[in-house]
A and B are shown apart, each in its own frame.
Chain A
Amino acid sequence: MSIKGKVWKYGDDVNTDVIFPGKYTYTITDPKEMATHALEDLDPKFTKEVEKEDIIVAGRNFGCGSSREQAATCLKYAGVGAIVTESFARIFFRNAINQGLPLVQCKEAVENISSGETITIDFEKGKLSCKKGVFNFPPLPESVLGILKDGGLIPHTKKMLKIKEGE
């Protein structure tokens, strides 16, 4: 699993309300429509200019706040290929993996990446390449990578139940 994309860089504590406002949580059910509101209270330019496989780079505690899974879903359907941060809030971390959206925690890389540049990430090798160099990060645990590779938790659970049935 690897990815190459253009960077959108943000600061610390990007919360779920600015990623996907609470007022839409029970009225918007189509993931494609969710994508049209991604980051709307933080960066109105984002949904207009984001391209497939673009990468979000941010500081500490990305995704803090609500448990709303749409915060991960809207970014995935907006085309975001990965998120690189210093740290993630725990429920967002789970939600993103469960939506099949890869995450990287690497403080050093975040400090060296500029908005707008193109970076490459190899998830299995734990390598991130940007203009200022190559940075290593610990790959996700095998069990978590398994969910990502299956495209998220729902297809993963479906697959695991089928395997169990066959036994």
Chain B
Amino acid sequence: MGKTFAEKILALKSGRESVITGEIVTVSPDVVMSHDNTAAIAKKFKQIGINKVKHPEKIVIPLDHCVPAATEKYATNHKEIREFIQEQKIENFYDINTGVCHQVLPEKGHIIPGTLVLGADSHTTTYGAFGAFSAGIGRSEVASIWATDEIWLRVPETIKINIKGEIPPGIYPKDIILHIIGDLGADGALYKAVEFSGKVIREMNIGGRMTLCNMAVEMGAKIGYVEPDETTIQWLAARTNKKYEIIKSDADTEYEKTIDCDISDLEPQIACPHTVDNVKPVSEVVGTRIDQALIGTCTNGRLEDLKIASEILRGKKIYNRVRLLVFPASMEVFAQAMETGILQELVKSGAVIMNPGCGPCLGAHEGALAPGEVCLSTANRNFKGRMGCKEAEVYLASPATVAISSLYGEITDVRGDLK
């Protein structure tokens, strides 16, 4: 019987000939990511009683969670991180003018197929879009890897999701992944590897694949994975000249489960408060009042997302009591959106263009909500209190749905606009 991607890569990274699902293995990662939490990790690292990180070249640190610093406390946190990277001679450091970690790492060529990437951030699953084994871990674990270059991982079972059919107008990768999460539930892929495959994936661009893998963790997955193909190879060619080996599941692999998902009749999907798996077709929530609309984050802040929004908003004004916040996912995206006139269109429509970063996604700054307010967001989480206020509500949708809804001040079906 063939092996899964997860079994093959974890055997490789643990220096074993083969491993089986369920086994606990000790592995050495290729890339270790941390962000604004680096100062807290550095304190834990020092408690181990070591002065120097073992492999500074494996460490990548972008600042993104609260940039520029909102208060003295955040500023002190950033200062401690800058001092630490100097002390440890960490070269792969990206300051506040770069963007969200999950956009920055691939853009800067740190992510290649067949590698093991671990990050102190749950959405580290994003890099599975490039055929990497990529999972979120905690702060103590990053500190421990800095010291030892090792960590234990359990070899996960693999669920294959075969996405087929034709993408209908008005439907985007975000609708597909929300639909899948709604179907499987918040723990539907708990501790599993999720392999996205099928015709729709093969035709999907890298940004869409990143959206899918980014949100795999919202159904409990350890990793998301898309088998690299010509699209991946071309995207990477512009970013890195590192050599890589593509690792794929064997053709005769037996998956724990294979799920067929036909999206030909899919409606735009909305995750309603206060869980990501509380997903409804847009027709059931049309007319819900919104106060704030957010386009951005590691889920949907890429150039294609901003472009979709600008095409919907072109020549129109957003509803007068709605705030539309746009966060390009990286400075590269920001520059491209500026050069191609996308930002200009968005500004003319009444959007506030923010600097690249996580923004208000985790409630830290730049657009927190007040009690009773409703935000429609392209982010990946809508938990109670997520955007800074437990009496506020967050709905999640595609950039197209968020853009059209900002014109009407209520959740709107984008397909009406396309007719």
- Which residues of A are in contact with B by a Cβ distance under 8 Å? 13, 15-18, 21-23, 25-27, 29, 41-42, 60-61, 64-69, 72, 87, 89-91, 94-95, 98-99, 141, 143-144, 152-154, 157-158, 160-161
Chain A's closest residue to B187 (CB) is: A61
A17-B381, A158-B47 known; A26 vs B36 contact (CB < 8 Å):
yes
Contact status B364-A23, CB under 8 Å: yes
Q: How far is the CB of B182 from chain A (nearest CB, A)?
A: 14
- 13 additional contacts, CB 8 Å, given A22-B364, A67-B120, A69-B140? A17-B381, A22-B386, A25-B364, A26-B36, A61-B190, A67-B136, A67-B137, A87-B187, A94-B138, A94-B141, A144-B152, A154-B140, A157-B147
Contact status B190-A89, CB under 8 Å: yes
A94-B138, A143-B152, A154-B44 known; A23 vs B388 contact (CB < 8 Å):
yes
> CA of A6 to CA of B36 in the docked complex: distance in angstroms?
37
Q: Mask for B144-166, Cβ within 8 A of A = 1, else 0?
A: 10011000100000000000000
Contact status B141-A153, CB under 8 Å: yes
A64-B220, A98-B140, A158-B47 known; A90 vs B191 contact (CB < 8 Å):
yes
Contact status A64-B187, CB under 8 Å: yes
Q: List 23 A-B contacts (CB under 8 A).
A: A17-B383, A17-B386, A21-B363, A22-B363, A22-B388, A25-B65, A26-B65, A26-B77, A27-B71, A42-B384, A61-B187, A67-B119, A67-B121, A67-B122, A67-B137, A72-B138, A90-B191, A152-B140, A154-B140, A157-B147, A158-B49, A161-B49, A161-B148
Contact status B77-A91, CB under 8 Å: no
- CB-contact partner of B220 in A16, A27, A90, A98, under 8 A: A90
- CB-contact partner of A27 in B73, B148, B381, B385, under 8 A: B73
> CA of A160 to CA of B49 in the docked complex: distance in angstroms?
12
Most buried by A among B44, B362, B383: B383
Contacts of A42 in B (CB 8 A): 384
Most buried by A among B47, B48, B119, B363: B48
Contact status B186-A91, CB under 8 Å: no
Contact status A41-B384, CB under 8 Å: yes
A87-B187, A89-B220, A153-B144 known; A18 vs B384 contact (CB < 8 Å):
yes
Contact status B364-A66, CB under 8 Å: no
Contact status A98-B141, CB under 8 Å: yes
> CA of A17 to CA of B158 in the docked complex: distance in angstroms?
28
Contact status A95-B138, CB under 8 Å: yes
> CA of A41 to CA of B187 in the docked complex: distance in angstroms?
21
Q: Is B24 an interface residue (CB 8 A)?
A: yes
Q: Mask for B197-210, Cβ within 8 A of A = 1, else 0?
A: 00000000000000
Q: How far is the CB of B273 from chain A (nearest CB, A)?
A: 12
Q: How far is the CB of A54 from chain B (nearest CB, A)?
A: 23
Contact status A41-B390, CB under 8 Å: yes
Chain A's closest residue to B119 (CB) is: A67
Q: Mask for B298-310, Cβ within 8 A of A = 1, else 0?
A: 0000000000000
User: What 8 A-B pairs have minimum CB-CB distances, sorted nearest first?
Assistant: A22-B362, A61-B187, A17-B383, A95-B138, A41-B385, A69-B138, A67-B122, A23-B363
Q: Mask for B356-376, Cβ within 8 A of A = 1, else 0?
A: 000000111000100000000
Contacts of A90 in B (CB 8 A): 190-191, 220, 222
Contacts of A143 in B (CB 8 A): 24, 152
Q: Is B344 an interface residue (CB 8 A)?
A: no
- CB-contact partner of A15 in B73, B368, B383, under 8 A: B383
Most buried by B among A65, A90, A141, A143: A90
A17-B386, A41-B385 known; A141 vs B24 contact (CB < 8 Å):
yes
Contact status A95-B140, CB under 8 Å: yes
> CA of A81 to CA of B205 in the docked complex: distance in angstroms?
47
Q: Is B139 an interface residue (CB 8 A)?
A: yes
Contact status A65-B138, CB under 8 Å: no
Q: How far is the CB of A58 from chain B (nearest CB, A)?
A: 12
